[in-house]
Amino acid sequence: MNTLAIDSTSDILSVALETKNGVLHDEIDKVNSHSELLMECADGLCKSAGIKPFDLNLVACMKGPGSFTGLRVGFSAAKGIALALGIPLIAVPTLDCLAYHRGTSSCGLGGKFPSSMKPGLVLPILDAKKGCFFAAFYRGGERLTDYFDESPSGLVKIMSKTMASIDESVLLTGSGARLFCSRIEEPPPENTNFIKNIIKNINLDSEFACGRARELLKMVKNDKFNMVNDIEGVPVYLRKSDAELNCKKDGENR
């Protein structure tokens, strides 16, 4: 099966193609260029693999949350390809795919798989702007919480309630991981000791900023997740876009 996977939810555009001859992957770190480069990148991978675009059997993309523009670009491109070729579209929740990178997410899709790291929390995290982050907590093959759009202090509070103990390790992954770390390094005085204890147990994934197109490929072919065709679906946003909020304000002010 020839499968194309797209991750455009962060500043890094990640596209992967799997054919019977193996996996090809391209990753481009060029802000605000996803719409210009995505199809060119996908076509380049097809040429390198020796196939035509119409030879594709499946396309996969991130479902969200993530960058509003990036999500729209990736989901629209994936849906366009699927409709044009009459093939299925599989859309995977972004945070679940980030957690899959460390083998500790059941993705809420009915399956589990072995952990690839020592027991502890995994916190995939994306910069949601306006001082907040998109995140969720995972442990031992299960997503433990809802998807959050939270401030650093809010996530620390949730973390304190989710940790099995004050000494449990926490692995941060996703493009917002380093920024989140910097935001909790200067805690408010009343939480200083507690946050210091948490910080000493936080580890940064060595590949935290990488795209996850290759992980998408692995997930969509794992029968445990009962993937379904999402051709009629839409991206998942945890908040309204600035355009929608501004439109609402304009309407209220009239």
- The answer to which of 149-163, 199-213, 231-245 has the lowest mean pLDDT is 231-245
Residue ranges covered by each domain of the chain: 3-93+211-240, 96-204
Mean pLDDT of 42-70: 95
CA triple 57-63-66, angle to 5 deg: 135
Those residues with Cβ within 8 angstroms of residue 96's Cβ, 6 or more apart along the chain or in another chain: 105, 107, 108, 109, 136, 143
Q: How many CB atoms lie within 10 A of CB 192?
A: 11
Q: Taking a C-beta distance cutoff of 8 angstroms, is the pair 107, 141 a contact?
A: no
Supply the mean pLDDT for the chain. 84
- Give residue 157's pLDDT band: very low, low, confident or very high (50, 70, 90): confident
CATH 3.30.420.40: does it fit domain 3-93+211-240? yes
Which residues are 150's β-sheet partners? 133
pLDDT value, residue 189: 55
- Give residue 82's pLDDT band: very low, low, confident or very high (50, 70, 90): very high
pLDDT tens for each residue of 212-249: 999 999 999 877 777 889 999 999 888 865 544 444 44
